[in-house]
Amino acid sequence: MPRELDLTEFNKLEQLLKDAGIPYEREDREDVPRKEVEAMGLRCYFDHHEIYYPSKAEHLSDAVISYGSYGSASGLLEQMGLLPPVTQDSVQGELFAEEVFERWKAHWERSKK
């Protein structure tokens, strides 16, 4: 039985966005099949939690925690999109809720001008 994901930072990010009035969409999926494991003839499922900014349909960035995401073992978040220019990858992991929130908040405030 896999360990439970620590959703503390994930839930904190949602609360920060809600309190600031920044649009987002949350998606919680359980029992998501892992295609690469199924390709080996095995069945493996995992939980996946994602927040899309500003919405799933038009997201510019997202924050995720799932088994195998960067930082999930420590309860930290992985972000894709709206990353600092010095980031070489398409994702950045091991992030606290406040780090993701500050990036999205800055973008939200710029876009409202």
- pLDDT one-digit tens code per residue, 96-108: 999 999 999 999 9
Q: Which residues pair with 77 in a beta bridge?
A: 95
Structure tokens, 59: 């997201």
Q: How far apart (Å, rounded) are the C-alpha atoms in residues 53 and 90?
A: 16
Q: How far apart (Å, rounded) are the C-alpha atoms in residues 106 and 73?
A: 28
φ/ψ of 50, rounded to 5, equals: -140, 140
Q: What is the structure's pLDDT at 4?
A: 79
- pLDDT one-digit tens code per residue, 67-89: 889 999 999 999 999 998 887 78
- pLDDT one-digit tens code per residue, 11-58: 999 999 999 999 999 999 876 555 655 555 544 556 889 999 999 999
